[in-house]
């Protein structure tokens, strides 16, 4: 045999072997012991890397607990596969396609960016694979108009947060005339809509609605307008940097007014950026590991400390919402798969609707999903927090 012949023979053998292996793979049914793949596409690098890591940790703790208890469907264990979407919709779409079509994940978890999740939603509804949101709050993610809808969420939702903001302000600050200070982007717009609806439902008239840019240095003119219009509370929606600009501008004006905020400040070094008055901002969270914990809370905290050497206590679980939402979402996914009796996407979707009760970290979920309700967290489930010395603590915990 010449050298060329030998090479050709070797190539043919490899091809035959490959064809055999593929054929064998196709012919084999899923073994009982085959792991169930769970996908996660979120920002694992850049500004939001910490949030992506928090989601990962919540999912990991839940998966390990489920696997230790024997898995689902008669002993099948879960396996988590992560991809970095770098907070960009295009990368998120590529990652979602790869996880769904190549890795064949049974369900896919999303990350914290609403635009990324919105880009992934149509793919998931088309592929008929459930997509679970443990963070991004944009209302249209779950209310996407698809029927059947494969998108579920265990996190805050803008329109529900907006109702909760009004409810909290009325209860705690006796708010009669709120002033809205909103970031000038789609997120601000989504909340303007939600807050207007919430206020209209309770017959509350705002003192004014002001927008500010993420690069605004001085928000004093906008705030002065609200003050002159008689605002008695501020409703603030903005990421950490812009929210800090609002607090600093209020400092300069010497205007001491209650501030009720969406969860923007939680995303970074709010205490450092906003200065000592950062603590005046009361913002929404879905969970806090500080204070008295439920047995589930204690169990999760213990598991986190055992698994991650950098976690010594509740201080180190940041951002806590990522961990808590992801943990509960994974537990609900396991229940849905168990009820479905298979990893078929449509069966899992139906399974979500049949979940009866689950005693979770954030709350005890009773029939959390229905064909009309794809969001498991309601306005009564939020925790109100404030930044004290760089820590997110429940309001009133430190005087």
Kindly list the residues in this chain that would bind another protein in the complex (CB under 8 A): 46-47, 184, 208, 210-213, 215-218, 220-222, 224-225, 228, 240-241, 244-245, 248, 251-255, 268-269, 272-275
Beta carbon of residue 249, minimum distance to another protein (angstroms, whole number):
9
* Region for 234 from its dihedrals, namely left if φ exceeds 0, alpha if ψ lies in -120 to 50, beta otherwise: beta
50 vs 299, which CB is nearer to another protein? Answer: 50
Q: Which residues pair with 180 in a beta bridge?
A: 209, 235
Question: Minimum distance from CB of 310 to another protein (Å)?
Answer: 18
Q: Which residues, in sequence order, are CB contacts of 285 under 8 Å at separation 6+?
A: 263, 266, 320, 321, 382, 383, 384, 385, 392
Burial bucket for residue 36 (CB in 10 Å: 0-12, 13-18, 19+)? buried
Nearer to another protein, 73 or 388 (CB): 388
CB of 319 to another protein, least distance (A): 13
176/211 with CB nearer another protein: 211
CB-wise, 36 or 223, nearer to another protein?
223
Closer to another protein by CB, 94 or 253: give it. Answer: 253
CA distance 333 to 71: 12
**Choice between 47 and 174, CB closer to another protein:** 47
In angstroms, give the least distance from the CB of 208 to another protein.
8
Smallest gap from Cβ 244 to another protein, in A, equals 7
Smaller CB distance to another protein: residue 173 or 255?
Answer: 255
Using the minimum distance from each CB to another protein, give the nearer residue, 159 or 216.
216
Distances (CA, A) of 377 to 243, 286, 303: 25, 8, 24
Largest CA distance in the chain: 95
Q: How far is the CB of 240 from another protein (least distance, A)?
A: 7
Q: At its nearest, how many Å lie between another protein and the CB of residue 49?
A: 9
3-class state of residue 136 by DSSP: coil
> What tokens appear for 302 in the block?
């213990």
- Residue 117 DSSP SS3: helix
φ and ψ at residue 396, rounded to 5 degrees = 90, -5
Measure the N-to-C terminal CA separation of the chain; round to a whole number of Å: 87
Helices 220-228 + 240-253 axis angle, to 10 = 60
CA-CA-CA-CA dihedral for 130, 135, 136, 138, to nearest 10:
90
Q: Where are the alpha helices (DSSP H) in 202-238?
A: 220-228
Q: Which is nearer to another protein, 69 or 215 (CB)?
A: 215
Q: Which of 225, 285, 280, 213 is nearest to 248 (CA)?
A: 280
Shortest separation between residue 321's beta carbon and another protein, angstroms? 18
Q: How far is the CB of 222 from another protein (least distance, A)?
A: 5
């Amino acid at each position: 045999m010449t050298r060329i012949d030998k090479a050709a023979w070797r190539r043919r053998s490899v091809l035959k072997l490959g064809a055999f292996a593929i054929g064998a793979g196709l012919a084999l049914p899923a073994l009982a012991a085959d792991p169930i793949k769970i996908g996660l596409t979120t920002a694992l690098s850049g500004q939001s890397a910490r949030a992506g890591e928090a989601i990962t940790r919540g999912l990991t703790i839940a998966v390990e607990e489920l696997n230790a208890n024997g898995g689902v469907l008669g002993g099948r264990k879960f396996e988590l596969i992560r991809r970095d979407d770098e907070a960009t919709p295009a990368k998120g779409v590529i990652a979602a396609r790869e996880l769904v079509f190549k890795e064949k994940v049974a369900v896919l978890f999303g990350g914290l960016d609403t635009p990324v999740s919105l880009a992934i939603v149509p793919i998931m509804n088309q592929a008929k694979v459930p997509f679970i949101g443990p963070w991004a709050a944009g209302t249209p993610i779950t209310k996407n108009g698809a029927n059947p809808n494969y998108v579920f969420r265990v996190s805050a939702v803008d329109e529900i947060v907006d109702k909760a903001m009004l409810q909290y302000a009325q209860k705690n600050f006796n708010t009669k005339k709120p002033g809205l200070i909103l970031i000038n982007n789609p997120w601000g717009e989504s909340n303007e809509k939600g807050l207007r609806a919430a206020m209209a439902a309770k017959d509350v008239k705002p003192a004014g609605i002001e927008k500010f840019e993420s690069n605004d240095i001085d928000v004093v003119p906008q705030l002065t307008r609200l003050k002159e219009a008689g605002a008695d509370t501020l409703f603030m929606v903005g990421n950490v940097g812009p929210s800090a600009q609002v607090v600093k501008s209020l400092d300069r004006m010497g205007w001491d007014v209650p501030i009720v905020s969406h969860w923007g400040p939680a995303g970074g070094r709010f205490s450092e950026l906003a200065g000592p008055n950062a603590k005046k901002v009361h913002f929404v969270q879905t969970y806090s590991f500080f204070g008295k914990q439920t047995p589930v809370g204690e169990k999760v905290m213990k598991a986190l400390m055992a698994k991650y050497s950098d976690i010594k206590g509740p201080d180190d679980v940041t951002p806590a919402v990522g961990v808590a939402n992801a943990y509960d979402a994974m537990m609900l996914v396991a229940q849905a798969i168990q009820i479905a009796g298979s990893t078929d996407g449509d069966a899992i979707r139906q399974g979500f609707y049949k979940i009866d009760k689950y005693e979770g970290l954030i709350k005890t979920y009773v029939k959390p999903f229905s064909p009309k309700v794809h969001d498991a967290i309601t306005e009564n489930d939020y925790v109100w927090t404030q930044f004290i010395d760089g820590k997110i603590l429940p309001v009133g915990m430190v005087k």
